[in-house]
Structure 1
Amino acid sequence: MKLQEMLNIKYPLIQGGMAHIATGKFAAAVSNSGGLGVIGSGGFTAKELRDEIETCLKLTDKPFGINILLLHREIEEISDIVCEYGIKILTTGAGNPGKYIDKWKAHNIKIFPVISSKALAIRMEKLGVDGVIAEGQEAGGHIGELGTIVLVNEVANSLSIPVIAAGGIASGKQLLAVEALGAVGAQIGTCLLPAIECPIHDDYKEKIINAKSSQVTVIGRINGLPVRLLKNEMTRKYIECEKNGAELQELEQMTLGALRRAVKDGDMINGSIMCGQVVGEVNLRRKLVDILDGIYSEYLNAKEKLCAKQN
């Protein structure tokens, strides 16, 4: 089944549920532009999430979803909220959604866990989810170990439910590539950061627009919590502390509130400037509708050219 038909959207593109970025207003703008907007529960209290949902409902009549962090301290209330508001699409991360599957299914909610391995994908299918988002380590933020090409191929070959690719996708050619691996669409994030409608600080947008892919690094590998982001003074100090055997508590203090500082305050020195490896291809401020339409138009053109070469 095509993702557009499954979710009733124009383009097979899902917006990542980026903490502090994926607000109700932003999700509505993505949905109004033809993709699936997603409100990220990370960074919001349960009460604040209610407000974001209310905002989204006022701004769009198109489908939108919620990204649920299963380690959220108010997860039980958040689970109730999505049912109360009749949310029909959930993406999940940071935990196992098994405890909530039956409840969400009883409310006709489609569930798409973000996974980073074939084994986890198989477990999710057995739980009865509607599809999985296979996120490769090229992605921004918290990452796994496998690259997108390897992961998507393994997962698509192992499941009978739809697979959505994520990590390193910002163009139509990349969308076509993951389709060839068996994906029905893509979750995107980094390429949306410079969007006019994106609520991040202008200094964050400028960093993204001017960044090269070689300026992206990963912190947290040593403690098993890898995060991909742009290099700055904070990442330099963090990596130095990691090499010197710093305690986990000390490292956590260095990143506490760092994403919010980057997103809201424009702290490009000690903030966490999360983005994926594809950042080097993201160099224009555009409206969301132009970004999404551009990706899909390039995808169609690339597919046509590729098919023509085979004839």
Structure 2
Amino acid sequence: MIRTKLCELLDIEYPIIQGGMAWVATGELAAAVSEAGGLGIIGAGNAPANIVREEIQKVKKITDKPFGVNVMLLSPHVDQVMEVVVEEEVAVVTTGAGNPGKYIKDLKAIGAKVIPVVASVALAKRMSRFDVDAVIAEGNEAGGHIGQLTTMALIPQIVDATDLPVVAAGGIADGRGLAAVLSLGAVGAQIGTRFVCATECIAHDNYKEAIIKAKDREAIVTARSTGHPVRNLKNKLTRKIEKMERENASKDKIEELGVGRLKRAVIDGDVDKGTVMAGQVAGMLTKEEPAVDIITDIVAVAEEVLEKSCGLINN
């Protein structure tokens, strides 16, 4: 059995965290992943606090195992969402798009583990000055908003730069990926795109089908000119954005075009004109399956890969 420092830190069976994807990572998915031995995460996104509370309570009705909430620090509702997280005594809080420093005291008071997402060595070092428990280092192979460095290059540099446990994210979908990032010094993996294709995920069937049908080069990056690049699957929307960028459209115009497009794809199923966020691993995925089967497969393959690697050394 693969058991790392992350398992002890979060009281989970396997070193796998499910990504906190807005609109996608609801209570149903988070509960299923936690029940299967990983750490399920609710993606708060820009949702108001009452919606986040509903999702938290949904998880509590399904499982008594640890789960977390991903809080976007740029959300207009972030203060109220953090209040709900504290009131509901959520075990783990991952954060993105900012510095969680102002909230750490209250989160620590309820015993929560605080794990910010970082995309650079500089940000990881900055987070190490706060009372956080680990960092999630996300390479640009990931779906959604991304940084510049690849997972392969980012993980060892952050491992070397900080004493905090490092969770790898971006470009990980199977046991080979988990084994690889463990070899790079990570204590576990955060996985997003593959869990979109979990049976328990509420994403529209069209969204899941788009990911399953995607080829290796279809998860592209758009909106680089805005300073907030996004990885998503090619469609009519991405082509329109690319055209706008070629014509030097303003940042505001491009960002205005993207408003509401993720919900349009995830909930409404419009995968032509909606934002189909997915990582480069989309080309590896072939089916929808229960979260427990996803985790079982990842762990089994990782164990096999690591055993073979040890065998190569011994031989």
Normalised-by-shorter TM-score class: over 0.9
Correspondence for 1:15 among 18, 36, 40: 18
SS in 2 for 1:99: helix
Correspondence for 1:309 among 303, 309, 312: 312
- Please say if residues 159 and 166 of structure 2, whose CA atoms lie closer than 8 Å, have aligned partners that are also in contact: yes
Superposition deviation, residue 207 in structure 1: 0.8
> What do residues 56-102 of structure 1 show as CA deviations (whole Å, max 9, x unaligned)?
11111110001011111111111111111111210000111111112
Distance in 1 of aligned mates of 2:37 and 2:216: 28
Equivalent residues, number: 311
* 1:67-216 → structure 2 map (5 Å cutoff): 67-216=70-219
Name the counterpart of 1:241: 244
Superposition deviation, residue 284 in structure 1: 1.3
* 1:268-307 → structure 2 map (5 Å cutoff): 268-307=271-310
Distance in 2 of aligned mates of 1:174 and 1:20: 25
Distance in 2 of aligned mates of 1:21 and 1:135: 18
Superposition deviation, residue 11 in structure 1: 1.2
Name the counterpart of 2:220: 217
Distance in 2 of aligned mates of 1:288 and 1:37: 10
- Please say if residues 20 and 43 of structure 1, whose CA atoms lie closer than 8 Å, have aligned partners that are also in contact: no
Q: Structure 1: where are the runs of 5+ without partners?
A: none
- Please say if residues 111 and 130 of structure 1, whose CA atoms lie closer than 8 Å, have aligned partners that are also in contact: yes
The amino acid of 1:139's aligned partner reads A
Name the counterpart of 2:65: 62
> What do residues 105-141 of structure 1 show as CA deviations (whole Å, max 9, x unaligned)?
2221110000000010011011121000000000000
1:259 aligned onto 2:250: no
- Please say if residues 70 and 92 of structure 1, whose CA atoms lie closer than 8 Å, have aligned partners that are also in contact: yes
> What do residues 257-309 of structure 1 show as CA deviations (whole Å, max 9, x unaligned)?
00000001110110000000011111111111111110010000000011001
- Please say if residues 43 and 71 of structure 2, whose CA atoms lie closer than 8 Å, have aligned partners that are also in contact: yes
> What do residues 37-70 of structure 1 show as CA deviations (whole Å, max 9, x unaligned)?
0011114211111111111111111100010111
Give TM-score, length-normalised by structure 2.
0.97
Distance in 2 of aligned mates of 1:201 and 1:107: 35
SS in 2 for 1:214: coil
- Larger mean CA deviation between 43-52 and 62-71 belongs to 43-52
Correspondence for 2:42 among 23, 39, 54: 39
- Please say if residues 138 and 147 of structure 1, whose CA atoms lie closer than 8 Å, have aligned partners that are also in contact: yes
- Please say if residues 47 and 77 of structure 2, whose CA atoms lie closer than 8 Å, have aligned partners that are also in contact: no
- Larger mean CA deviation between 269-278 and 73-82 belongs to 73-82
RMSD between superposed Cα atoms in Å: 0.9
- Please say if residues 225 and 251 of structure 2, whose CA atoms lie closer than 8 Å, have aligned partners that are also in contact: no
- Please say if residues 28 and 56 of structure 1, whose CA atoms lie closer than 8 Å, have aligned partners that are also in contact: yes
Distance in 2 of aligned mates of 1:76 and 1:191: 30
Percentage of matched positions with identical amino acids:
50
- Please say if residues 21 and 192 of structure 2, whose CA atoms lie closer than 8 Å, have aligned partners that are also in contact: yes
- Please say if residues 133 and 166 of structure 1, whose CA atoms lie closer than 8 Å, have aligned partners that are also in contact: yes
- Please say if residues 237 and 274 of structure 2, whose CA atoms lie closer than 8 Å, have aligned partners that are also in contact: yes
Give TM-score, length-normalised by structure 1.
0.98
The amino acid of 1:181's aligned partner reads L
- Please say if residues 46 and 75 of structure 2, whose CA atoms lie closer than 8 Å, have aligned partners that are also in contact: no
